[in-house]
Structure 1
Amino acid sequence: MSTDKRVGGDEINHAEISDGGLDHLKNVDLHDKVLANNALEATTQEHNLGVLQAFKTYKRAAFWSVLISTTVIMEGYDVTLLGSFYGYPSFRDKYGSFLESTGDNQISAEWQQKFNCLGALANIIGAMLNGWATAKWGHRKVLMLSLFWLAAFIFVVFFAPTIEVMLVGQFLCNIPWGVFATTGPAYAAEVTPLAIRGYLTAYINLCWCTGQFISAGVLKGLVNNKTQWSYKVPFAIQWIWPIPLFIAAWMAPESPWFLVRTNQLDAAKKSLQRLSEPDHQVDFDGTIAMMVHTNKLEIEERAGVNYWDAFRGTNRRRTEIACMAFMSQITNGGALCYSGSFFFQQTGIGASASYGISLGGTGIAFIGVIVSWLYISKWGRRTIWLTGFSSLVLILWTIGFLALPHQTKSLAWAQSLLCIVWLGAYSMSVGPIVFTIVAEIGSTRLRTQTVVLARSFYYFGNIICGGLLQPKLISPGAWNAKGKTAFFWAGLATLTLIWGYFRLFETKDRTFGEVDFMFQKGVSARKSASFKINEEEIYAAEERESKVERVASA
């Protein structure tokens, strides 16, 4: 019989929890001494687990996290695909209308708005459905249904005879993409330990970049093809993903946090066993105790798991941070820099060269995410975001000022290349770290709902900024602001940077229970990185509170 660290003067007896079995934890009180002791010990062990050891012990968790997050590649692929088709010659000939000012067919600003806005609306629908369905059935089942849905409706966009049918098909396909974008961060956060959580949540942005890189490469290779296959082949490539990912989701272990929330503790233990190496002597009972303790701590503050609970108590502040973190991927000028090929053409660069630049940009973005892994375990989430976002603001102001003189070829190339620099800076900082922030900031009971609300807020921002404003700002048939569009985004980004300085919370090296404690203590964002936590304080405080309550009731 082994004992360990003391809490309130009592030794931890690991046999106590094992002898009672996991069923005992279902009805145990939050202030139960044995539960608190075992949760404290599991928390200490998680803090002591280094990055290399975590990857060795939980390489299965890393594998499944990577596999499930790979669904985000499809969203990144399609977002780049459709936006780039606006400047694609064969696509414009099929679905565009003649514009006298340019002398050829164009996808009008109005149709761009319809595609962008309805696509984002479908993303919101998918994300909201995911938050509701995952709370009932878990990540795996919802993901499998979404993959089946996507495979079916790709047929609509592939065979679309008119732009109206294409719009309907894109709307239907965007619903499962909303599921993929919100499942990846939540699942990655819940199956991986603290030491490697940052890497695997940031990996989701690499999936985005991978999708964009594949899309840009396919488009570059087919841009000079004058037949309908130049745009049909890119749509058909989307059929590659659903079947293997459906099989992966079917075989993957369910999130142990979901199983704890639904009182399936034995299943949660089996899930943990599948996520770790069998010969590494992981204390599964202690880890389950930590999860149960955190779950009960959150129930005590707010019992529900619906969307309204995300706006109550300390969850309101956490939801704000998650929403604004995702929104920063809109307000940072992404709609300008990620619509690269179309923007480049409006500044006077040819179609083939513009798609070549876009391909190079997505390659740089891919490398940028990998570079971010070199310091993601050393620097805080807040530090990386603030540093990266400041760089993006500076680049946007520079692009805008370069547009003030008479537009020349040299200035057009300078603006276009600054967009590529922007992509590199974004992918080394804001792009990956936002997924980590959003995945970690929500409470465990409301994690999926928090991610869903944040991503929905992102999609709503995309409707306003990317869907309504950006096409008008840059389209030759509308406001035709060209490079001066950067001034709008620079101003918006500056305001977002100010918000981040005062409100963005640091979650690096904090367990989910510690994050709960800090929010309940009302720790300010600027002090969150340096705030010192004595783990025993969390559990001892609860024990004292429990004694006071027992005395009062007597």
Structure 2
Amino acid sequence: MNEDLEPSNSIVESVLTTASESSIDRNNLRKNAQIATDYHHSLTPSEAFKDYKEAIWWASVMSLTIVMEGYDTSLIGNLFGFPSFQKKYGVEISPGVFELQSHWQIALGVSPSVGVIIGIFVNGYLIETFGHRRITMFCLILMQLFISITFFAPNVETLFLGQLLCGLPWGLFAIIGPTYSSEVIPLALRGYMTSYTQFCWSLGQILSAIILKLYVNNDTQWSYRIPFALQWIFPLPLFILTYLAPESPWWLVRHNREEEAIKSVRRLSSSSVSHMAPPMVSMIIHTHENEISQHKKEGTEWEKYMKAFTGTNFRRTVVTSLAFSGQLLCGLPFAFSPSYFFREAGISPKKTYDLSLINATIALAGSIAAWYPITRFGRRDIYLVGLAILCTCLLFIGVAQPFVYEFHELIWVQCGLIIAWMTTYSLTLGPVTYCIISEISASSLRSTTVSIARGYFSLNQFIANAIEPILINPTSLNLRGYTALFWFTTCFIIFIWAFFELPETKDRTFDDIDFLFKQETPARKFSTTETTRLVDLD
């Protein structure tokens, strides 16, 4: 610690000599909350890593469920170009040539989104009522059952049902990971761990790509059944680890379990900083009570959905929802799982899955490399720069298409641009979005707001996954590379919105962010506006 921090450290010591280490001093709540806020701002990443290894571990565990969603969503999309899969679930369009019909591509593509939307509808209520741990364990049990349906599916209709049901727990996993991480990780590491969600997603993608490459030349039913069966590996170990994990101290405070919150904070930190647990819980209580005071009462879980669309929370809900959907509208359905595009462009199945594996490897490496810029640069800057490059890649893919018919070698230029798109997405929009959605929402409405945002994302995903096969399938519009121009348009629209409306939240505590929204600070002034005090309780 440098000299500037000595006054804060002396305050910490004086408070600790008079306050109980196992309870909250209500008479000095605001003072202790300020101590914790100063401590968060002063903590460097190296100090946070040394003192909060436990928090890093448990945040990592709670986000690993997203590996399953990344694995299966990549699996089903890439199986559309899988010869044995097409033979089982498709129709013969010419002697010896099978194709999964476009309407079933649409159905299988959107079915998880339907399940996710249903799951998200009750997600905020379930998490806020039962907590992150219990809901995660319950969903892992459901996953074991629903995987059986996809594995044994005798026809495409049953496969559709299995994918839809798997979407139910995925809708909760996608919310629990980033929200839990944002609540247990100190400010200095929040960018790393909330963006870790993208790493888990990419890990699922690369596992899927490896498995598909191993079985692409297998002509039997096991070439697609074994990849489905491998999903059974995940739930049991994750169930055990989740059972052992501490509950979020923010959730405990929201349920008036303050002493348990102190114990949770201690479990999430090393013994050398365990004395900071009461002040940190005081900060959580102060932030929570300040938000509740703005709405006069906390209300039921269902009333929270209404509150997310009133006052300053409405702006936060809109920003969270559009920022989340930006991940999709930047061209994700077209470029993130491009095996089908590669195959329809005339590339052999083996090379198609070689390229898919390269794409997935880049996604995983990019999600790790993104940790540096996320902590070095602002969330807003990374988001905008990423969108600008993604727009450029999509534009050039579409512009190159008329020349591909005459110079077929240009298909490799399009493939290169898709890989450039994936690299950019993995370094920017993919990981930074999870930081944004977990930081923008109010702490008392975090699960609710992120659930609404994920629901809006899933609604867009439903539409996008219905549109993409129509655009690219040879039995429909057969646009091939021209499809990229459609996604260029949606990507550019999100860029314009983000330029004017996306706030900067880097290096801001949740109390700072509350203050900026309460003051109706313009989005482009979030990074320069001073927040020199805690928000006063009304």
Same fold (TM over 0.5): yes
- Counterpart Cα distance in 1 of 2:18 and 2:261: 16
Q: Which residues in structure 2 correspond to 1:175-214 (within 5 Å)?
A: 175-214=168-207
1:315-359 Cα shifts (integer Å, max 9, x gaps)? 111111110111001110111002311011111211111111000
In structure 2, the partner of 1:461 is 460
1:98-150 Cα shifts (integer Å, max 9, x gaps)? 224x9611111101111122220101112232211011110000000000000
Q: Which of 38, 41, 45 is the aligned partner of 1:47? A: 41
What one-letter code is carried by the residue in structure 2 that aligns with 1:428? L
What one-letter code is carried by the residue in structure 2 that aligns with 1:475? N
In structure 2, the partner of 1:78 is 72
What one-letter code is carried by the residue in structure 2 that aligns with 1:361? N
- Counterpart Cα distance in 1 of 2:17 and 2:312: 33
| Residue 242 (1) aligns with residue 235 (2) | yes
- Counterpart Cα distance in 2 of 1:409 and 1:245: 47
In structure 2, the partner of 1:434 is 433
In structure 2, the partner of 1:487 is 485
CA displacement at 1:87 relative to structure 2: 0.7
| Residue 14 (1) aligns with residue 15 (2) | yes
What one-letter code is carried by the residue in structure 2 that aligns with 1:297? N
In structure 2, the partner of 1:134 is 127
Q: Which residues in structure 2 correspond to 1:156-305 (within 5 Å)?
A: 156-302=149-295, 303-304=298-299, 305=301
- Counterpart Cα distance in 1 of 2:199 and 2:208: 14
- Secondary structure of the residue aligned to 1:115 is helix
Does the 8 Å CA contact 2:54/2:268 hold for their aligned counterparts? Answer: yes
Does the 8 Å CA contact 1:12/1:37 hold for their aligned counterparts? Answer: no
CA distance 1:159–1:314, shift in 2 (3 Å): same
CA distance 1:521–1:376, shift in 2 (3 Å): same
Does the 8 Å CA contact 1:4/1:13 hold for their aligned counterparts? Answer: no
- Counterpart Cα distance in 2 of 1:492 and 1:158: 35
CA distance 1:20–1:241, shift in 2 (3 Å): closer
In structure 2, the partner of 1:548 is none
1:126-185 Cα shifts (integer Å, max 9, x gaps)? 223221101111000000000000011111111111111111111111111111111101
- Counterpart Cα distance in 1 of 2:20 and 2:197: 40
- Counterpart Cα distance in 2 of 1:232 and 1:147: 20
| Residue 69 (1) aligns with residue 70 (2) | no
Does the 8 Å CA contact 2:205/2:360 hold for their aligned counterparts? Answer: yes
1:346-394 Cα shifts (integer Å, max 9, x gaps)? 1121111111100001101111111111222110100111111111011
CA displacement at 1:463 relative to structure 2: 0.7
- Secondary structure of the residue aligned to 1:316 is helix
Structure 2: gaps spanning 5 or more residues: 1-5
Does the 8 Å CA contact 2:362/2:422 hold for their aligned counterparts? Answer: yes
- Secondary structure of the residue aligned to 1:478 is coil
- Secondary structure of the residue aligned to 2:375 is coil
- Secondary structure of the residue aligned to 2:452 is helix
- Secondary structure of the residue aligned to 1:522 is coil
CA displacement at 1:464 relative to structure 2: 0.8
Q: Which of 91, 97, 110 is the aligned partner of 1:97? A: 91
Does the 8 Å CA contact 1:348/1:409 hold for their aligned counterparts? Answer: no
What one-letter code is carried by the residue in structure 2 that aligns with 1:66? S
Deviates more, 1:298-307 or 1:249-258: 298-307
- Counterpart Cα distance in 1 of 2:162 and 2:373: 41
CA distance 1:346–1:17, shift in 2 (3 Å): farther
What one-letter code is carried by the residue in structure 2 that aligns with 1:445? S
Q: Which residues in structure 2 correspond to 1:23-42 (within 5 Å)?
A: 25=26, 34-42=28-36
| Residue 452 (1) aligns with residue 451 (2) | yes
- Counterpart Cα distance in 1 of 2:198 and 2:263: 30
CA displacement at 1:284 relative to structure 2: 1.1
- Counterpart Cα distance in 2 of 1:150 and 1:182: 16
- Counterpart Cα distance in 2 of 1:43 and 1:268: 17
Does the 8 Å CA contact 2:12/2:35 hold for their aligned counterparts? Answer: no
Does the 8 Å CA contact 1:12/1:38 hold for their aligned counterparts? Answer: no
1:233-254 Cα shifts (integer Å, max 9, x gaps)? 1001100100000001100000
Q: Which residues in structure 2 correspond to 1:348-363 (within 5 Å)?
A: 348-363=346-361
- Counterpart Cα distance in 2 of 1:390 and 1:93: 40
Does the 8 Å CA contact 2:91/2:101 hold for their aligned counterparts? Answer: yes
- Counterpart Cα distance in 2 of 1:37 and 1:280: 18
CA distance 1:84–1:11, shift in 2 (3 Å): closer
- After superposition, the CA RMSD in angstroms is 1.9
In structure 2, the partner of 1:364 is 362
- Secondary structure of the residue aligned to 2:308 is helix
Does the 8 Å CA contact 1:185/1:451 hold for their aligned counterparts? Answer: no
- Counterpart Cα distance in 2 of 1:458 and 1:99: 34
In structure 1, the partner of 2:518 is 520
- Counterpart Cα distance in 2 of 1:463 and 1:5: 51
CA displacement at 1:442 relative to structure 2: 0.5
- Counterpart Cα distance in 2 of 1:165 and 1:256: 41
- Secondary structure of the residue aligned to 1:98 is strand
| Residue 313 (1) aligns with residue 307 (2) | no
- Secondary structure of the residue aligned to 1:403 is helix
Q: Which of 381, 385, 388 is the aligned partner of 1:387? A: 385
Does the 8 Å CA contact 1:90/1:230 hold for their aligned counterparts? Answer: yes
Runs of 4+ in 1 over 6 A off after TM superposition: none
- Secondary structure of the residue aligned to 1:339 is coil
Does the 8 Å CA contact 1:130/1:142 hold for their aligned counterparts? Answer: no
Q: Which of 339, 342, 353 is the aligned partner of 1:341? A: 339
What one-letter code is carried by the residue in structure 2 that aligns with 1:18? A
Q: Which residues in structure 2 correspond to 1:471-550 (within 5 Å)?
A: 471-535=469-533, 538=534, 542=537
TM-score, structure 1 normalization: 0.92
CA displacement at 1:41 relative to structure 2: 1.1
- Counterpart Cα distance in 1 of 2:422 and 2:21: 54
Matched residue count? 526
- Secondary structure of the residue aligned to 2:444 is coil
- Secondary structure of the residue aligned to 1:314 is helix
What one-letter code is carried by the residue in structure 1 that aligns with 2:121? M
Taking only the aligned residue pairs, the percentage that are identical comes to 39
In structure 2, the partner of 1:551 is none
Does the 8 Å CA contact 2:395/2:488 hold for their aligned counterparts? Answer: yes
CA displacement at 1:5 relative to structure 2: 5.8
- Secondary structure of the residue aligned to 1:311 is coil
1:462-515 Cα shifts (integer Å, max 9, x gaps)? 1111x2110100000000000000110001111110000001111110001110
CA distance 1:404–1:17, shift in 2 (3 Å): farther
TM-score, structure 2 normalization: 0.95
- Counterpart Cα distance in 1 of 2:364 and 2:337: 17
- Counterpart Cα distance in 2 of 1:455 and 1:16: 45
- Secondary structure of the residue aligned to 2:19 is helix
In structure 2, the partner of 1:397 is 395
